[in-house]
Amino acid sequence: MKYGYARVSTKEQNVDRQITAFLGEGIDSRNIYTDKATGSNFNRKRYRTLLKKLKKGDVLYIKSIDRLGRNYEEIIKEWNYITKITKVEIVVLDFPLLDTREKVSGVTGKFLTDIILQILSYVAQIERENILERQKEGILEAKKRGVVFGRPKKRVPDEFQEVEMLWKKGKLSLRKGAAILGVSHSTFAKWIKKTEKID
């Protein structure tokens, strides 16, 4: 039996291109499973349902390796489970070398795909590290230029002292005082603590 698995990260994206590719491979539309979920893990509803359906000898098609997932360590684990435990073949349409059915010069596709996956995971890991390093460098340079990160601090309103005085006299609750100032009660409490330290 042939199955297709399609994934996009957000509800705004669509899976039409992936589904068209599966239909072109002769996959019945009832055997195409789609998720609109992050690729960072495999805790996806339709993917989990698909895994329960797969049986030895079935073929699972995906459009590209990143549609299966984004975390390459997790991809390798999942790939090994599907191909070695469940005994299901995997075909990655955009990467013909990732086809566990094929034999190249007498070498089985499973062996080749294992090697290619290891290389891809290494490259992905290096790229992740490079991105983090570039982000750190970018933040450092931005800070040198005086760029401030995070949300700007709320300015203490002019009427704060008056409201604080009413609160201290017990004429206002913390929540009521915060509501008058248009802030959360935790922000109001924080401002009160700061003035107490100054006093």
Q: Is 0.85 surpassed by the pTM of this model?
A: no
CA–CA separation, 42 vs 6, rounded Å?
A: 13
Decide if pLDDT at 106 tops 60: no
Which pLDDT score is estimated for 151?
A: 67
User: Once rounded to an integer, what is the mean pLDDT over residues 94-115?
Assistant: 75
Cα(144)–Cα(32) distance, integer angstroms: 51
Active site residue 184: no
What's residue 165's pLDDT?
87
Nearest to 188 by CA among 65, 172, 11, 39: 172
Domain ranges (residues) in the chain: 2-126, 160-198
With 0-12 CB in 10 A as exposed, 13-18 as middle and 19+ as buried, what is 35? buried
Q: Is 150 helix (H, G, I), strand (E, B) or coil?
A: coil
35 contacts 7 by C-beta, under 8 angstroms = yes
Q: Pull the structure tokens for residue 90.
A: 């995997």
Topology of domain 2-126, CATH: Rossmann fold (3.40.50)
Q: For residue 128, is pLDDT > 80?
A: no
Tell me the DSSP string of 7-75.
Answer: EESSTTS--HHHHHHHHHTT--GGGEEEEES-SSSS--HHHHHHHHH--TT-EEEESSHHHH-S-HHHH
